[in-house]
Chain A
């Protein structure tokens, strides 16, 4: 292991790779900050560049973009309440109210410190625990994976539903339905393709993300006659407020960061889960941990409410590399793109990567820590300047978002069918957004759809069609009981709590 760490450190600290981390973090921050544009777009655009480099450098660049975009997303969440990436949605719950109170600088500083701390702690976890964690991950069986995915979906639905759990669950089902379009992975039987060749490979994830976030966000802004840049226009060096934290705020962060890091890292490691679930769960967990007085501040600009999701989403980013590097299973949509890139390099991620390509395995882990340092150095001093990107007038910002969305999808397929499909999905998503049907559950369901079906298939085939696999193993029982608890709590909250 020590030898591997040294090889990784040597690779990650080479001039070229250091430059890649910096370029990746910087461009990721800018892209992630623009509402609707997230790490998926950025990484997808980076893939052709990375093929010019060796696999370690290519992966380091993509990892830098990933962290940068997650942090950049929190900037737009805080300043204009428009999360650049789903993983920073929870940050906006308290970040935006704090910014509205004239403490935008403070909110951004909390996010920066929390991201740094979460990323650093989880990078250390990863360094120490990666080999053994791969063994733990290997002990998960198909029923556990299936249960974990349902748990992730119900948790996201619960946290993003704003009291309308059934609406969120409808979005989950819709996401899974969209994911079922295309050829069946095992039998190649076409499903819901209506004899259209363009649908035989299914609907692209980038298309759905662009349509439901970027494009529908842009259309919603116009439809509601909102001006998200109105708040950003007021941002100036003086109006961001101080970025200094007082003793009390630091104390709150000190207690929040360790537990959110652990949670974020664990959630990130679990295949299928990721920054979005981690941030929502950390937000919910933190709310339960704090005292009643602090609980009242949640949603109104709580320090813990910003620190928890920001720590967890960065910790989850590091954690999500574990299943990717050790099992070859992406922990999120973004790492799924990276998986595609690795396969393009001719590298098959899996338990043997650790032995066959230690320089890739360890250099990525080492670059994570370097990336965190770069993000902290880059972001905090540059926040007032970077934030000005958000002050682009609405009349220019919206067409540019549409331009990037349309171009991104066109570049993937070079046909106009995908453009029409994206417009269709975006229009539907805009109407759904208008009536508070949440989009994050739909996206997560869409990502997990294929994996979920695969694991259900394996579970049912092993148990010969019996659903007893759901209570055969203690781990599966615990997962299922947690799901029942979440669903039960949501039903209680929606229909009984009010009446009591």
Chain B
């Protein structure tokens, strides 16, 4: 039996709703609240059931307007590349600081997407981030911790 991707997603949502409902029942409420008409787990329980109902209906009933996606034309390489780059950005931002990690993130993402105009790549990374940081510091008084700039003596 072949299942359409939309139905597969709704099936996954059904499982997710089931897990959500199970977790909702595990929420510890105060003893005096246990039999109250409404407590901390009431709304999540309703949501869990709603999720189960809607996803079950979608999975069982015939699809009104099936969505067809040609999986062959999707650009997995660039998309996964960008996602990995963002994860690396998350890993480095606290260690390397905002300036360096953001600038490198921008340079790498321009290159991943196929940009080869090096002057623009440079302008829209290091100087761009520096100006942005200056605006944040100077105008908005938002302090960004930056170990790298501190190390080279630019920031206090």
Binding site for B on A (CB under 8 A): 45, 48-49, 162-164, 166-167, 169-170, 173-174, 176-177, 180, 184, 186-187, 189, 191-192, 218-219, 222-225, 393-396, 398-400, 402-403, 406-407, 410-411, 414-416, 419-420, 423, 427, 430-432, 434-437, 452-453, 456-457, 460-461, 463-465, 494-495, 498
Contact = CB atoms under 8 A, between A and B. Distances in A.
A423 B87 contact: yes
Given A176-B47, A191-B44, A435-B6, A461 B67 contact: no
Interface string B74-90: 11101100110011011
Contacts of A187: 29-30, 33, 39-40
Contact of A410 (B17, B76, B93): B93
B86 A423 contact: yes
B114 A170 contact: no
B113 A398 contact: yes
Contacts of A427: 83
Contact of A177 (B20, B64, B144): B20
B105 A403 contact: yes
Contact of A402 (B13, B38, B87, B109): B109
Interface in B50-87: 50-51, 54-55, 57-58, 61-62, 64-65, 67, 69, 73-76, 78-79, 82-83, 86-87
Contacts of B5: 435
B38 to A, nearest CB: 5
Given A170-B10, A396-B110, A419-B89, A225 B83 contact: no
B155 interface: no
B156 interface: no
Given A225-B75, A402-B82, 6 more contacts: A49-B139, A173-B47, A400-B106, A403-B105, A423-B90, A495-B61
Chain B residues touching A, range: 35 or more
A173 B40 contact: no
B131 interface: no
B40 A189 contact: yes
Contact of B43 (A223, A403, A437, A456): A456
Interface string B3-39: 0011001100100010010011001111001001111
A380 B120 CA distance: 30
Contact of B64 (A48, A163, A394, A410): A163
Contacts of A410: 93, 98
Given A394-B113, A419-B93, A48 B141 contact: yes
Interface string B122-149: 0010000000100010011110110000
A36 B152 CA distance: 35
Contact of B79 (A223, A400, A419, A435): A223
Contact of B115 (A163, A173, A393, A406): A393
B64 A494 contact: yes
A337 to B, nearest CB: 15
A174 B20 CA distance: 10
Contacts of B75: 222-225
Interface of B: 5-6, 9-10, 13, 17, 20, 23-24, 27-30, 33, 36-44, 47, 50-51, 54-55, 57-58, 61-62, 64-65, 67, 69, 73-76, 78-79, 82-83, 86-87, 89-91, 93-94, 98, 102, 105-106, 109-110, 113-115, 120, 124, 132, 136, 139-142, 144-145
A173 B50 contact: yes
B9 A432 contact: yes
B139 A398 contact: no
B142 A48 contact: yes
Nearest to B56: A166
Given A189-B27, A465-B37, A431 B142 contact: no
A464 B37 contact: yes
A166 B57 contact: yes
B140 A45 contact: yes
B89 A406 contact: yes
Given A173-B17, A222-B78, A419-B93, A166 B29 contact: no
Nearest to B71: A434
19 contacts: A48-B142, A49-B140, A164-B64, A166-B57, A167-B10, A169-B54, A187-B39, A218-B82, A225-B73, A393-B115, A403-B106, A410-B98, A431-B9, A453-B43, A457-B42, A460-B42, A465-B37, A495-B62, A495-B64
Given A48-B140, A187-B39, A456-B38, A435 B27 contact: no
A434 B113 contact: no
Given A456-B43, A457-B38, A399 B110 contact: yes
B17 A414 contact: no
A420 B90 contact: yes
A103 B142 CA distance: 43
A176 B39 CA distance: 17
Contacts of A398: 82, 109, 113
Closest 8 CB pairs of A and B: A465-B37, A395-B115, A399-B109, A419-B90, A184-B40, A494-B64, A163-B65, A166-B58
Nearest to A431: B9
